Chains A and B, each alone.
Chain A
Amino acid sequence: MMTSFLFRALDARAGLFLIILLALTVAIPASNLLLPETSPLHVPTYAVTLMGKYLTYALLALSVDLVWGYCGILSLGHGAFFALGGYAMGMYLMRQIGSRGVYGDPLLPDFMVFLNWKELPWYWYGFDMFPFAAIMVLFVPGLLAFVFGWFAFRSRVTGVYLSIITQALTYALLLAFFRNDMGFGGNNGLTDFKDILGFDVQADSTRAGLFIASGLALALCFLLCRALTRSKLGKVLVAVRDAESRTRFLGYRVEHYKLFVWTISAMMAGIAGALYVPQVGIINPGEFSPANSIEVVIWVAVGGRGTLIGPVIGAVLVNFAKTWFTAALPDIWLFALGGLFLGVTLFLPKGIVGTVSQGWSALRQRSASAAYEAGSDEPPGSPDAPADVSHKRASSDASPQPAE
């Protein structure tokens, strides 16, 4: 059962994508560590870190796409799950500092000493242990998503209403984390990390390791999403996206499906946040800002929602452009980003991958039907292999439809 579940995830396209991803995951750190700096193929450490950051963004985009592209839930608050995962990791990294902080307190992080706190708040307990922190990276965003989703989906809050309250959710968290007495460093957040699992966070090898971890996490989550969306559950999700009440009248409890995929997605966002924090070296409440979450949505839209490769490509492309613009033409960046929102929704609703694969499958369909008419004995798509059929149709199958 489990094997068929996982094998379903793989086909030529997904395989190709994974091979490229894994090759990069190995090659980039290898060139950074093994090649001399003079070599033209040497990747400098800052670039490794930057690309590692892109990979975590890609994972975040993937998690948004899982709910938006496949289930029609447009989340404007996924940044909240990302940031919560990041804070969980940040708390671990803070406690690793130990007595090396400015104030040298063996137990309390610097900001607590500064605020004159005498003891560690209870919710900081356990974060000195990596396994505990790793569980919290999944558990905290997952729990918030579950509780929020439980209420929202049960009362059938859908469409823009849901989008707006997800935005309110992250906004409320933004305000909360700005407060000093929340015990998460207020305005400044958590920073000045020293080491992770005993390795210096600044070291080239640690950076390379984090890059590899990000690449692997992305690959695993991609596989998971692939398996999810190609199962019967995935078909139900698309059914919910396209005709929610029809799905209900067929006897599916739509809210359970939404809650399931929403919680998984939030946990993926949490993992992305946890990998992001040690690479950029800081987590602060700004990550909760609603604008961030909306930006993630545009990465997905640019790449192509309802395709799993699209959001990865979109996240990397848009962030590469952002890095370039903000360095070269900082004033233009917001115009460009705004233009991207407009351009994609008006002219490229299927995104890059959606548009390309639509063209591709139209082409293939034409040649297939030509072959059929020429007397091929096998009609396109044999009834013996329905799973295979749906895969052949996968591109158009996944063509984004508006949720309402």
Chain B
Amino acid sequence: MSLLRSLALVIGLLVVALGAGSVPAAAQNDTESLRPLINALADGKYKETEKQIGDLAATGNPVVAPALEALSDGDLYFRKSDKQVFITSKSGEGYALTDPLTLESAGEAGKREVSKIKVNNSLRRVIRSALGSLTLMAADPKVRKEAAEAVFKAKDPDAIEGLDTAIAKETNDEVRLVMEQARAAAVLNSDRSDGEKLEAVEVLSSMGNRDALSLLIGVRDSSTGDLQAAAATAVKRIEKTLALWDNAQNIWYGLSLGSVLLLAAIGLAITFGVMGVINMAHGEMVMIGAYVTFMVQEVIRNSAPGLFDYSLLIALPLAFLVSGAIGVGIERGIIRWLYGRPLETLLATWGLSLILQQAVRSLFGPTNREVGNPDWMSGAFEIGQMTVTYNRMWIIFFALAVFAGLMLVLKKTPFGLYTRAVTQNRRMAASMGIRTPWIDALTFGLGSGIAGIAGVALSQIDNVSPNLGQGYIIDSFMVVVFGGVGNLWGTLVGAMTLGVVNKFLEPYAGAVLGKIFVLVFIILFIQKRPRGLFALKGRAVEA
């Protein structure tokens, strides 16, 4: 166990050191001055080696870390001819040489030309703490912080002294806090006095995250007396705060799922909700939008790689136009013959969805297509104890923006006015000179186009395959029906509610069962309120 932990520490430090090694330009000048110290390792017994390691560590320059690391791993050799020290790796019969300071390749050497610098376990321990204090005292605060975090994970009691020195020297408050926490973790793992451990519990208790919690639970379960009581109190405190953060995280996940549902359903809210056309090929409009994104990225990759970060922005209008145009085509070609026959429309559009799926499958193949995330869509940041990924965050913003844009179009533009007029009283609208067939086609096109841009967003979080749309169609209908047909606000509230409810159910019931519960809930809900959450009342509804 402790071996594993130290390994984790070493690896962590190595990563940090390598990361740092490429950064500091100022340190570059001193690099060569370090060479004699390194080369000194070439001769000497264990005892001297220990001193030499101390000297290297005392420079406080992280550049020496790889050499120490290699030494610990038994990969540090010296060339017999000139007593130059190299990091080596096996290469055929001989060794590939790497300069220990610049980390540049330094040719190869035969088996006989080099000799290994010997280490034993006690030396390895020295190296480890040297490496620890080395990075803990690096010039870059980021490196110091990461080093401290690595110690925290490893909980290595040997690192306590190094930490003490580092804490004493530390000027950055944030880094010092992390170091103190790391020290606390190490103290709890050591055989130090209960007094010190109580202090450490205090430190961890105020740290208040999951890592601290698991440490404290360990302490609570393995100690006695005051220490156990203190740990137990701390555990309770942390669990309470964590529960709050858990809820926040669940809500966030729920909103994220809700925004995906909203994106998928919002086009349907127009075609089904506003126009009353039941379009089972809606999911395929989403799928087509995702494939447009894929094609845009393909073109960019081949001809203008620099534009990759803008690929989504380019794909948005294109997806809208492509899906929208297909939507207009569907309306003119099929749906207009079936107005007033919703069940037939359902069947015809289902047939259409089969055709579109198979067409995409024939064109692009049945497998998933790779759609990349631009830089600004990848990664994550933390708020308190919850993690927020950028792609989810942007999708929430995007879904809300699409919703707001759609509201604007429907409420504030002449087109929206005509649409509402036609859906409320077709004959009256026609007699006022509105070209109702065109409004029908354009409204349907708008709904489909929005499905297309939803596809752009969904391509970032879902597999882009011909079946993409099918996964969303039932959910989308559920959202629209749940929210209340013909009511866009209902769709918004419906999507977010279902998303959040789903995510709160998941921890108790599991993802699949949670989803089943939500479906059953909606089925029951529709029985209770057949017209949805925000139903329109009155005679007009019955007609």
Contacts and interface: CB of A to CB of B under 8 A. Distances in A.
A and B: real partners?
Answer: yes
Interface of A: 74, 76, 148, 151-152, 154-157, 159-161, 163-165, 167-169, 171-172, 175-176, 178-179, 290-291, 294, 297-298, 301, 331, 334-335, 337-342, 344-346, 349, 402-404
A262 to B, nearest CB: 14
Given A164-B477, A168-B522, A338-B351, 16 more contacts: A155-B527, A161-B530, A167-B474, A175-B519, A176-B513, A179-B512, A298-B347, A331-B362, A334-B355, A335-B354, A335-B355, A341-B350, A349-B344, A402-B343, A404-B341, A404-B342
B344 A175 contact: no
29 contacts: A74-B343, A151-B524, A155-B526, A157-B526, A165-B526, A167-B474, A168-B478, A169-B523, A172-B516, A175-B512, A175-B515, A175-B516, A176-B512, A176-B516, A290-B474, A291-B470, A331-B358, A335-B359, A337-B354, A338-B353, A338-B354, A341-B347, A341-B348, A341-B354, A344-B347, A346-B337, A346-B338, A404-B340, A404-B343
Interface residues of B, number: 42
Given A157-B527, A161-B481, A338-B352, A345 B516 contact: no
A92 to B, nearest CB: 26
A339 B355 CA distance: 7
Contacts of B512: 175-176, 178-179
B357 interface: yes
B348 A163 contact: no
Task: For the complex of A and B, list the 4 residue pairs with the smallest distance between their C-beta atoms, beginning with the closest.
Answer: A341-B351, A338-B354, A338-B355, A334-B358
B11 interface: no
A346 B333 CA distance: 10
A404 B334 CA distance: 19
A339 B347 CA distance: 11
B361 to A, nearest CB: 8
B278 interface: yes
A81 to B, nearest CB: 16
B519 A334 contact: no
Interface centre among B343, B348, B515 (most CB of A within 10 A): B343
A236 B359 CA distance: 44
B342 A346 contact: no
Contacts of B362: 331
Contact of B346 (A74, A172, A176): A74
A232 B246 CA distance: 61
B144 to A, nearest CB: 49
B408 interface: no
A297 B348 CA distance: 11
A341 B352 contact: yes
A345 B338 contact: yes
Nearest to B348: A345
Interface in B463-479: 470, 474, 477-478
Interface string B392-420: 00000000000000000000000000000
Contacts of A160: 278, 342-343, 346
B524 A168 contact: no
B256 to A, nearest CB: 21
Contacts of B528: 155
Contact of B347 (A171, A178, A297): A297
Most buried by B among A156, A294, A345, A402: A345
B106 interface: no
Contacts of A404: 340-343
A281 to B, nearest CB: 27
A274 B470 CA distance: 28
B357 A334 contact: yes
B7 interface: no
Contacts of A165: 481, 522-523, 526
